[in-house]
């Protein structure tokens, strides 16, 4: 869609200025920051059954309530902190998703010990250029892409390691957001910028 200022963007971000800012400056741009990667992993789990806009609107509240998604701090949460989270109306109060985020924090610490960083682990699953990707990223192509061979593999390995709320569709959304793939539609004003950022990006080892 094209906004009132003439900027062309992907169809899904038209609902609010916050959503458009997220689309323009975050979604599809490569990320190596440990906190941001872990935050997105958790928030994708909280999104299950909801819209991303719902979660985005609550993101600052989640950060304040969940130790800013610092995995080593969140991993220490116990029954007292869980009770506080369940009483916090500013976040999604789902006991299973809260427990999952805490448990996933503990599993992330194990990943870091094995791979050096969450980024080094995650970027092993970035598909190579053109691998399993449509030749033209049209609206129909993006709507059809709900998972991929890479997201299935990432999901399977995370589950094997004890993570939860990390199904292949959830992991594909994570890959889209963190720039492992660029699913900005052709003609979107952010697509070229995301492509340039990815071309200059050196995946962590």
Residues marked as catalytic: 22, 44, 52
State how far the alpha carbon of 15 is from the alpha carbons of 49, 56, 177, in Å.
19, 12, 18
- Residue 62: CB atoms within 10 A of its CB come to 22
The neighbouring-strand residues paired with 8 are 2
DSSP bridge partners of 2: 8
Q: How far apart are CA 173 and CA 184, in angstroms?
A: 13
CA 140 centroid distance within chain: 22
Position of tokens 């492509």?
Answer: 195
H/E run at residue 143: helix 139-144
């Amino acid at each position: 869609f094209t906004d009132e200022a003439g900027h062309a963007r992907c169809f899904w971000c038209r609902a609010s200025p916050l959503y458009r800012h997220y689309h323009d400056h975050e979604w599809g741009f490569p990320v190596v920051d440990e906190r941001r990667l872990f935050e997105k992993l958790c928030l994708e789990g909280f999104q299950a059954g909801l819209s991303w806009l719902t979660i985005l609107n609550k993101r600052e509240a989640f950060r304040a309530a969940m130790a800013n998604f610092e995995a080593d701090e969140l991993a220490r949460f116990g029954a007292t902190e869980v009770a506080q989270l369940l009483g916090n109306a500013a976040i999604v109060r789902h006991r299973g998703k809260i427990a999952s985020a805490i448990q996933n924090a503990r599993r992330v610490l194990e990943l870091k010990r094995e791979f050096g960083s969450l980024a080094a682990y995650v970027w092993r699953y970035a598909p190579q250029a053109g691998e399993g990707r449509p030749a033209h990223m049209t609206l129909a192509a993006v709507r059809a892409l709900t998972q991929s061979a890479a997201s299935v593999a990432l999901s399977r390995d995370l589950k094997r390691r004890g993570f939860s709320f990390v199904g292949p569709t959830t992991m594909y959304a994570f890959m889209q957001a963190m720039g492992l793939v660029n699913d900005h539609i052709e003609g979107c004003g952010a697509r070229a910028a995301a492509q340039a950022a990815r071309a200059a990006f050196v995946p962590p080892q």
